[in-house]
Structure 1
Amino acid sequence: MIDLVQDLQFAVHGGGDSGDGIAGMVAGILTFVETLVTLSPADMVTRLLPGLATMRNLHPLWVHFPIALLSLFLLADVLGVALRKTEWRRFASGLLYLGTLFAGITVIAGLIAAGTVAHGGEVHEIMERHEHLGISVFSMALALSIWRWFGQVERAGRGNGLFLSLASILVALLLLTADLGGYMVYKFGVAVEAADAGNEAAAQQHLHEGDASPDQHPGVGHDHHP
């Protein structure tokens, strides 16, 4: 079986950790490609994208898009106002619309993901706040998109100050949401395979402490409501 990590070990520290240097790297790439073409499409995807193959849900795959797009939207819009560049504000509008679309996809993926990962009581509270903030971000982005589309905010007007203030609040909420998501992963190992045993035990303990029936909480011990 081909192993992407083993077959493509690019040299670091100037190649000091690789006895073959550039020649060894090229040989590894050729071996990788040669073996890759013998795999089935499913195995090919698994070997090319091992991180994606181990994901239990697609929420982590989508979260980066609204963070990047909505943050860039605010930056471009503020600069467009400050420098009086209408084209920058038009560019910011496109970023806002795309960011809103991906925020909606991310929220849906997150709500689905909440039912696929084991977590205990403390993580449950954090996850609830994370969900509520995520829904708030999407709702606010959608409202700003509608206002932008129909209100022609790109033009100078009395609504600009309020719009930029709300956009700033949107990005602040977005950062708080992202921070809680990272906190769950890096502090508690939520959805991390190596930490699943501990999380499963915590989920079962919280389930018993709450005196809840497993039928009410399949898989993780909780129902999540927006």
Structure 2
Amino acid sequence: MRYQLKLSRLVLLSFCLVSALVVFQIKASDSTAAQAAPDTEAIEEIEEIQDVTPVEAAPAAQPGLLQIVGRMHPAVIHFPIAWLTLLLLIETAALFTGKPEWSRFGLYVLILTLLSFIPAVTSGLILSKSQGSDPDFIKLMTLHRNINLSVVLICVIAFILRIARSEKLQGRARLPYFLLILVSTALIAFSGHLGGKMVFGENYLPF
């Protein structure tokens, strides 16, 4: 009985303490809210109305012929990439099958590849003259340009080798010519990756 009485008193005391704490917190919250509440009579809303007359933008200058040619670079650059990739597939078939039909077809595709370099390189060199002065971008663009020029040079060497030794490029003797095409395709693929970085930013791919 005494134990129950002591327990009841303890519970009652705890309830009183909790109630007092709650009341204290409520009063403190009301006091804080009253201090934080703004005095609406002391607030004056000031609006400044400015007469803004729209300024008509000056018309953009029309691009010249060279600028138009340079801006065609993103479109025409895909042709040498496609032709060179097709050439690699054809020369792979010619190397492993030994059929002359593949070899003749490869010569025509090589000529088309060289012709497609003309608008791609020309437009790229023109476009590079108007790409700002950011040092990182210029460094990337210079590497992109040099790799592409190297691809053109390698393809020209492959063409000369093909014409000069057309009858001797059979079997293993065809391997050096095939390696030139393989290296050219790998380089132009890497150069295309650099071009993507210039257009879409450094981190558009994780490598």
- Give the TM-score taking structure 2 as reference length: 0.60
3-state SS in 1 of match to 2:71: coil
Query: CA offset at residue 105 of structure 1?
Result: 2.5
Q: Deviations over 1:59-78 (max 9, x none)?
A: 11210100000110011111
- The answer as to whether partners of 1:103 and 1:137 remain within 8 angstroms in 2 is no
State the partner residue of 2:77.
Answer: 63
Q: Which consecutive segments of 4 or more residues in structure 1 shift more than 6 A?
A: none
Does residue 92 of the first structure (1) align with residue 101 of the second (2)?
no
3-state SS in 1 of match to 2:201: helix
Does residue 186 of the first structure (1) align with residue 187 of the second (2)?
no
Consecutive unaligned residues in structure 2, runs of 5 or more: 1-67, 203-207
Q: In the TM superposition, what are the counterparts of 1:104-183 in structure 2 within 5 Å?
A: 104-152=118-166, 155-183=169-197
State the partner residue of 1:38.
Answer: none
Q: Deviations over 1:153-175 (max 9, x none)?
A: 68415531111112111111111
* Paired residue type of 2:101: E
Query: CA offset at residue 89 of structure 1?
Result: 1.5
% identical aligned pairs: 29
Consecutive unaligned residues in structure 1, runs of 5 or more: 1-53, 189-226
Q: Deviations over 1:54-99 (max 9, x none)?
A: 9861111210100000110011111122122211121111111111
Q: Deviations over 1:18-72 (max 9, x none)?
A: xxxxxxxxxxxxxxxxxxxxxxxxxxxxxxxxxxxx9861111210100000110
Q: In the TM superposition, what are the counterparts of 1:17-36 in structure 2 within 5 Å?
A: none
3-state SS in 2 of match to 1:113: helix
* Paired residue type of 2:72: L
* Paired residue type of 2:157: A
- Give the TM-score taking structure 1 as reference length: 0.55
Highest Rg: 1 or 2? 2
Aligned-pair Cα RMSD in Å: 2.2
3-state SS in 2 of match to 1:117: coil
- The answer as to whether partners of 1:67 and 1:174 remain within 8 angstroms in 2 is yes
